[in-house]
Amino acid sequence: MACVAPSVAQVTTVCYEGGTEASCGQFIPTFCNFLFDSDVMIAPGDSITRCFTLNATASRKCDLTALNTLNVTHGTSETNCDNVLAQVNTTCPMGGFGQVTGAAFQFYGDPNTGACGAPVGN
Protein backbone atom coordinates (compact mmCIF):
# COMPACT_ATOMS: atom_id res chain seq x y z
CA MET A 1 0.00 0.00 0.00
CA ALA A 2 1.33 3.46 -0.84
CA CYS A 3 0.30 7.03 -0.18
CA VAL A 4 0.49 9.75 -2.83
CA ALA A 5 1.54 13.29 -1.94
CA PRO A 6 1.44 15.98 -4.64
CA SER A 7 3.51 19.09 -4.02
CA VAL A 8 3.54 22.69 -5.20
CA ALA A 9 6.71 22.05 -7.24
CA GLN A 10 4.77 19.81 -9.66
CA VAL A 11 6.43 16.76 -8.13
CA THR A 12 4.26 13.80 -7.22
CA THR A 13 5.70 11.38 -4.70
CA VAL A 14 4.60 7.91 -3.67
CA CYS A 15 5.84 6.72 -0.29
CA TYR A 16 6.53 3.14 0.68
CA GLU A 17 4.59 2.19 3.81
CA GLY A 18 6.91 -0.57 4.95
CA GLY A 19 10.62 -1.17 5.11
CA THR A 20 13.63 0.44 6.69
CA GLU A 21 13.38 4.01 7.93
CA ALA A 22 16.49 6.06 7.16
CA SER A 23 17.65 9.18 5.36
CA CYS A 24 19.44 8.83 2.02
CA GLY A 25 19.83 12.59 1.64
CA GLN A 26 23.62 12.63 1.87
CA PHE A 27 23.89 10.53 -1.32
CA ILE A 28 21.46 12.47 -3.54
CA PRO A 29 23.99 15.03 -4.88
CA THR A 30 26.50 12.28 -5.72
CA PHE A 31 23.87 10.21 -7.55
CA CYS A 32 22.40 13.13 -9.49
CA ASN A 33 25.87 14.50 -10.36
CA PHE A 34 26.84 11.05 -11.65
CA LEU A 35 23.82 10.98 -13.97
CA PHE A 36 24.32 14.52 -15.21
CA ASP A 37 28.11 14.85 -15.37
CA SER A 38 28.73 11.54 -17.08
CA ASP A 39 26.02 12.15 -19.70
CA VAL A 40 24.46 8.79 -18.90
CA MET A 41 21.93 7.78 -21.53
CA ILE A 42 19.07 5.63 -20.28
CA ALA A 43 16.91 3.89 -22.87
CA PRO A 44 13.09 3.93 -22.58
CA GLY A 45 11.96 1.56 -19.84
CA ASP A 46 15.52 1.14 -18.52
CA SER A 47 16.91 2.34 -15.23
CA ILE A 48 20.19 2.94 -13.44
CA THR A 49 20.55 2.19 -9.74
CA ARG A 50 23.46 3.00 -7.46
CA CYS A 51 23.87 1.53 -4.02
CA PHE A 52 25.38 3.60 -1.22
CA THR A 53 26.47 2.18 2.13
CA LEU A 54 24.57 4.06 4.82
CA ASN A 55 25.90 2.18 7.83
CA ALA A 56 28.14 -0.84 7.25
CA THR A 57 28.08 -1.82 10.93
CA ALA A 58 24.27 -1.96 10.99
CA SER A 59 24.14 -3.42 7.47
CA ARG A 60 22.08 -0.58 5.99
CA LYS A 61 22.21 0.91 2.52
CA CYS A 62 20.47 3.34 0.21
CA ASP A 63 19.48 2.43 -3.34
CA LEU A 64 18.87 5.40 -5.62
CA THR A 65 17.36 4.81 -9.06
CA ALA A 66 16.52 6.80 -12.21
CA LEU A 67 13.89 5.18 -14.49
CA ASN A 68 13.17 6.47 -18.01
CA THR A 69 9.37 6.36 -18.39
CA LEU A 70 9.13 8.00 -21.82
CA ASN A 71 9.57 6.56 -25.28
CA VAL A 72 12.75 8.50 -26.09
CA THR A 73 16.37 7.83 -25.21
CA HIS A 74 18.06 10.78 -23.57
CA GLY A 75 19.74 11.93 -20.42
CA THR A 76 18.06 13.33 -17.36
CA SER A 77 17.89 16.73 -15.66
CA GLU A 78 20.13 17.09 -12.63
CA THR A 79 17.72 19.63 -11.15
CA ASN A 80 14.75 17.26 -11.46
CA CYS A 81 16.81 14.46 -9.94
CA ASP A 82 17.89 16.62 -6.98
CA ASN A 83 14.42 18.05 -6.37
CA VAL A 84 12.48 14.78 -6.66
CA LEU A 85 14.86 12.74 -4.52
CA ALA A 86 15.04 15.52 -1.91
CA GLN A 87 11.24 15.53 -1.68
CA VAL A 88 11.10 11.72 -1.48
CA ASN A 89 13.77 11.76 1.23
CA THR A 90 11.92 14.44 3.23
CA THR A 91 8.37 13.11 2.93
CA CYS A 92 8.95 9.35 2.77
CA PRO A 93 10.96 8.05 5.75
CA MET A 94 10.88 4.47 4.41
CA GLY A 95 11.60 5.49 0.83
CA GLY A 96 9.47 5.98 -2.24
CA PHE A 97 9.57 7.52 -5.68
CA GLY A 98 8.53 10.64 -7.51
CA GLN A 99 8.43 12.46 -10.80
CA VAL A 100 8.14 16.00 -12.05
CA THR A 101 4.92 16.30 -14.06
CA GLY A 102 5.65 15.78 -17.74
CA ALA A 103 9.29 14.81 -17.20
CA ALA A 104 10.83 11.62 -18.55
CA PHE A 105 12.27 10.21 -15.35
CA GLN A 106 10.98 8.78 -12.11
CA PHE A 107 13.46 8.80 -9.26
CA TYR A 108 13.46 6.25 -6.45
CA GLY A 109 15.02 6.43 -3.01
CA ASP A 110 15.02 3.22 -0.99
CA PRO A 111 16.78 2.86 2.36
CA ASN A 112 17.01 -0.79 3.31
CA THR A 113 18.95 -3.46 5.09
CA GLY A 114 21.76 -5.41 3.55
CA ALA A 115 25.07 -4.53 2.01
CA CYS A 116 26.00 -3.05 -1.34
CA GLY A 117 27.67 -5.52 -3.62
CA ALA A 118 27.14 -7.89 -6.49
CA PRO A 119 23.56 -9.10 -6.98
CA VAL A 120 22.81 -12.59 -5.79
CA GLY A 121 21.91 -14.88 -8.68
CA ASN A 122 20.54 -18.38 -8.95
47 C-beta neighbours (distance < 10 Å), count: 15
Say how far apart CA 65 and CA 108 lie, in whole Å: 5
In a domain, 61, yes or no: yes
In a domain, 8, yes or no: yes
In a domain, 38, yes or no: yes
Say how far apart CA 85 and CA 55 lie, in whole Å: 20
pLDDT of the residue at 99 = 93
In a domain, 119, yes or no: no
pLDDT digits (tens, 9 = 90+) for 24-40: 999 999 999 998 876 77
Q: Angle, to 10 degrees, between the axis of helix 28-37 and the axis of helix 78-91?
A: 160
Check: CB of residue 31 under 8 Å from CB of residue 63: no
Long-range contacts of 26-32 (CB under 8 A, 24+ apart): 27/52, 27/62, 27/64, 28/64, 28/81, 28/82, 28/85, 28/86, 28/89, 28/109, 29/82, 31/64, 31/81, 31/85, 32/78, 32/81, 32/82, 32/85
pLDDT of the residue at 9 = 47
- State which residues form the domain around 15: 2-113
**Helical H segments across the chain, by residue range:** 28-37, 78-91
pLDDT of the residue at 8 = 42
Question: How many domains does one find in the chain?
Answer: 1
In a domain, 57, yes or no: yes
In a domain, 121, yes or no: no
pLDDT digits (tens, 9 = 90+) for 39-77: 778 888 899 999 999 987 888 999 999 999 886 655 567
In a domain, 101, yes or no: yes
CATH number for position 74: 3.30.430
In a domain, 122, yes or no: no
pLDDT digits (tens, 9 = 90+) for 81-108: 999 999 999 999 999 999 988 888 999 9
